[in-house]
């Protein structure tokens, strides 16, 4: 959601940032596509979703291993996972395996996207904890 909203606000294309990860399969030049297409948008969305699940699993492990139950700690762990995802995405991963969001979004929007991801991780943990009690 954050990718689409930020892409629409910045460049008038909600699909553009979602298409970014399609560079994994189709090459970097293809990641610049701003229109909605099965080739780019479906691929980008599938890759992005798979990586979100990967980072959510890392979040679950981090919370389970330290038995994080305090809401503040959950938020700190969530922010840490969001920050780690950004660092891995843009400073560790090979260029072709980066998400390609920068082709469509500026620094502020990138911050919003990763912060929204961290907030989603935290909200899931916080609400699931309440449902168990």
Confidence of residue 129 (pLDDT cuts 50, 70, 90): low
The model's pTM is 0.90
131 has pLDDT over 60? no
What does the DSSP 8-state code read for residue 70?
A: S
The tens digit of pLDDT for each residue in 12-69 reads: 999 999 999 999 999 988 889 999 999 999 999 999 999 999 999 999 998 886 666 7
At 96-120, the pLDDT tens digits run 999 999 999 999 999 999 999 999 9
What would the mean pLDDT of 61-86 be, rounded to a whole number? 88
Can you give the pLDDT at residue 94?
95
List of residues 6+ apart from 55 with CB closer than 8 A: 81, 84, 85, 117, 121
- C-alpha angle 98-19-86 in degrees, rounded to nearest 5: 30
């Amino acid at each position: 959601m954050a990718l689409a909203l930020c892409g629409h606000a910045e460049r008038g294309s909600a699909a553009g940032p979602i298409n970014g990860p399609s560079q994994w399969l189709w090459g970097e030049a293809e990641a610049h596509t701003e229109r909605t297409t099965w080739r780019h948008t479906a691929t980008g969305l599938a890759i992005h979703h798979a990586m979100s699940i990967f980072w959510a699993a890392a979040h679950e492990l981090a919370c389970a291993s330290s038995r994080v139950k305090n809401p503040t700690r959950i938020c700190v762990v969530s922010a840490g996972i969001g920050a780690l995802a950004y660092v891995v995405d843009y400073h560790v991963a090979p260029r072709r395996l980066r998400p390609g969001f920068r082709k469509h979004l500026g620094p502020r929007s990138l911050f919003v996207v990763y912060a929204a991801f961290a907030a989603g991780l935290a909200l899931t943990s916080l609400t699931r904890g309440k449902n168990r009690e």
